[in-house]
Structure 1
Amino acid sequence: MGRAKAAVGSVVFLVVAPGTVAGLVPWVLSGGWRSADPPVVAVVVGWLLVVAGAGVLLHAFARFVVEGIGTPAPVAPTRELVVGGLYRYVRNPMYVAVVTVIVGQALLLWRPELLAWALLSGLTMMGFAKGYEEPTLLRDFGESYAEYRRNVPGWWPRLTPWRND
């Protein structure tokens, strides 16, 4: 797979997977983005979380295309192990970003059902990462992934970037 195909595949996957989890489902749960009159501080923090989460998500998807020459979709995985950019701080920046966006939406709209959705989504992603992704990456990339996993936390970012020297 070349980078052009990886880019198209990644955009499609971005729309389908995170678009559903952090877009369609929250829209449905909130009754079409209906707000419950949040305090101003919740709106400000909510916007910060949504923008930061979306930025991290787009960065992570781009790394799959540029560095990995593939997509985040299990049906079209990367040729190379992606360990650059934000992946030097946390192994699962996409999942962290999606949950961050949903929490931001919950604050923006003041909707507790979105917090419940963020928790359920996060637990589901953790289960998928542990049960499928980590064993698959270990099989496909061997010691390189094992070393990466030993040095970079899965869910809470490091304060300094991991350097694979």
Structure 2
Amino acid sequence: MRRSVAAVGSTVFFFVGPGTVAGLVPWLLTRWHMRELPLWAPMRLLGAAMIAAALVVILQAFVRFVVEGFGTPVPVAAPDRLVVGGIYRHVRNPMYVALLTAILGQALLLAQPVLLLWALAVWLAFSTFVRLYEEPVLARRFGESYATYRRNVPAWWPRLSPWRG
């Protein structure tokens, strides 16, 4: 796939996929209403920092799919090459981790416990999708290179030092 096509597809998917999971649904659940709780200001700051960090990671991951993988995060327009650079040297599923971080950050920022339940539901969906679909597809498509990557880079908890495979 050409990079320009991958960039357009990734941009559209960014708003549809992550925009829905970490934007639209949290808004529908909370209307982004900030509950007032005493002494909650430090939690709000932590939540805002989590959201900002998550956005940076998501954007980096999407760009990596275009420039390194020549594809998109959408399974029907998957990358031609295994993406293992940038943030992918630390964790195999940075987009999913970042989306969960964004949802948890909103829960703290807004003091909305319902978002903790949404994060749990999203994590269950992501982990099921990864285990039953993504990992088998990547193993078939990229063979030993994916197996090596999978052995060295954790799926959900980032390693501190980047993998240099």
Classify the TM-score, shorter chain. Answer: over 0.9
Q: CA deviation at 1:122?
A: 1.0
What secondary structure, in the 3-state scheme, does the structure 2 residue paired with 1:159 have?
coil
Q: What residue number does 2:154 align with?
A: 153
Secondary structure of 2:76's counterpart equals coil
Give the residue type in structure 1 aligned to 2:70. I
Partner of 1:48: 49
State yes or no: 1:20 paired with 2:30. no
- Structure 1 residue ranges without an equivalent (≥5): none
- Tell me the equivalent position of 1:33: 32
Letter in 2 for 1:62: V
Gaps of 5+ in 2: none
Matched, 1:140 2:141: yes
Partner deviation per Cα, 1:52-84 (whole Å, 9 max, x = no partner): 001100000000000000000011000000000
Q: Alignment partner of 1:71: what SS? A: coil
Aligned length: 163
Return the offset for 1:101: 0.2
Letter in 2 for 1:119: L
Task: Report what 1:6 is aligned to.
Answer: 6
Superposed, which structure 2 residues align to 1:69-148 within 5 Å?
69-148=70-149
| In 1, Cα distance between equivalents of 2:36 and 2:75 | 40
CA distance in 1, matches of 2:13, 2:75: 10
Structure 1 runs of 4+ aligned residues shifted over 4 Å read none
* TM-score (structure 1 length as normaliser): 0.97
Cα deviation for residue 42 of structure 1 reads 1.1
Q: TM-score, normalised by structure 2?
A: 0.97
Query: How far is 1:123 from its partner?
Result: 1.4
CA deviations over 1:24-75 (Å, ceiling 9, x no partner): 0000000x11111141011100100000001100000000000000000011
Hey, what's the Cα distance between the residues in 1 that align with 2:34 and 2:86?
35
Letter in 1 for 2:160: L
- Cα distance between partner residues in 1 of 2:159 and 2:145: 19
Identity %: 60
The Cα offsets for residues 91-141 of structure 1, whole Å up to 9 and x where unpaired, read as 000000000000000001000000110111011101101110000000100
- Taking the aligned partners of 2:114 and 2:60, their CA distance within structure 1 comes to 28
Instruction: Look up the equivalent residue of 1:7 and give its one-letter code.
Output: A
